[in-house]
Amino acid sequence: MFQFNFSVAADDQDGDAVVDDGPSEADVSQSSTSALADPARDPCREVLLTELVSALPTEVAYTLLAFPGTALLLPRRDFHDARLSSLAATADGELAGEELLEEVFDARSDVRPGRYEGGMKTWEGAGDLVGVLRGLQRPWGSVLEIGCGTAIPTLYLLAQVFASESPAQPERETRVCLQDYNRPVLELVRPPLPTPPLPPNY
């Protein structure tokens, strides 16, 4: 802890104006305990697509997002529908991060430092990135979206891949990995949604 003394007399200016006591053992212990309990520090783990598919409800409400200057529409799960799913799943003990979900859905917070990075909502930057990707003619290969949230840019790339496939083309492999800091984001807002084909002249 730093302590500043601004009421030092002229003849006392050579004295210690700043004192660094250093962290106490109790502070270090409390900091270590907080770090261990922080859910953001939980080890990462791979969630397979089959897990997400099996956890899907029979019906999912979603909205098709439009992008300026194009006829492209991409699906995004409705926030209220994700909230209903979270209530049902946490009641059954099937969904991770129940405390986090209460913060996100009940307080409607966009960001919780160290806990939640806003992945339940679609940010304007996602649409901007889709605009950048439209200029890249490279639908094949590997895709990794870090902190994906609703994964709109990746959905756009998948739509590109599906639109470019034809029986005359040799089969090519496209690997897609979505990463988010909160598992409930992957379970609720980024489950497999229908990806419509790209319209002509997208």
Q: How far is CA 28 from CA 22, 24, 145, 148, 201, in A?
A: 10, 6, 35, 34, 60
Low-confidence winner among 14-28, 82-96, 102-116, 170-184 (lowest mean pLDDT) = 14-28
Say if residue 200's pLDDT is above 70.
no
Q: Which of 133, 136, 141 is nearest to 174 (CA)?
A: 141
pLDDT for residue 93: 53
- Single pTM value for the model: 0.62
Q: Which residue has the higher pLDDT, 141 or 16?
A: 141
Residue carrying structure tokens 């210690």: 16
Placement of tokens 């996602």 in the chain:
126
Residue 52 · residue 192 · CB < 8 Å: yes
Q: Which residues contact 118 (CB under 8 A, 6 or more apart)?
A: 110, 111, 149
pLDDT value for 94: 53
Q: Identify which has the larger pLDDT, 69 or 30.
A: 69
Q: For residue range 74-130, list pLDDT tens digits in order.
A: 888 887 787 777 776 655 555 555 555 665 666 555 666 666 666 677 878 888 888
Residue with tokens 């304007």, as numbered in its chain = 124
Q: Quick one: tokens of 8?
A: 């030092």
Higher per-residue confidence, 62 vs 141: 62
Position 81 scores a pLDDT of: 80
Q: What pLDDT was estimated at residue 195?
A: 52
Chain centroid, CA 80 distance in Å? 17
CA atoms within 13 A on the CB side of 46: 5
Question: Which residue has better confidence, 169 or 190?
Answer: 190
Of the listed ranges 101-105, 125-129, 171-175, 180-184, the least confidently predicted one is: 101-105
What are the start-end ranges of the H helices in the chain? Answer: 25-37, 49-54, 79-91, 98-101, 124-133, 152-164, 183-188
pLDDT grade, residue 34 (50/70/90)? very low
Looking at the chain, the whole-number percentage of residues with pLDDT higher than 70 is 50
**Banded model confidence at residue 35, pLDDT cuts 50, 70, 90:** very low
DSSP 35-92: HHH-GGGSPP----HHHHHHT--S---EEEEE-TTS--EEEEE-HHHHHHHHHHHHHT
* Mean pLDDT, range 60-74, rounded to an integer: 79
Count other C-beta atoms under 10 Å from residue 78's C-beta.
14
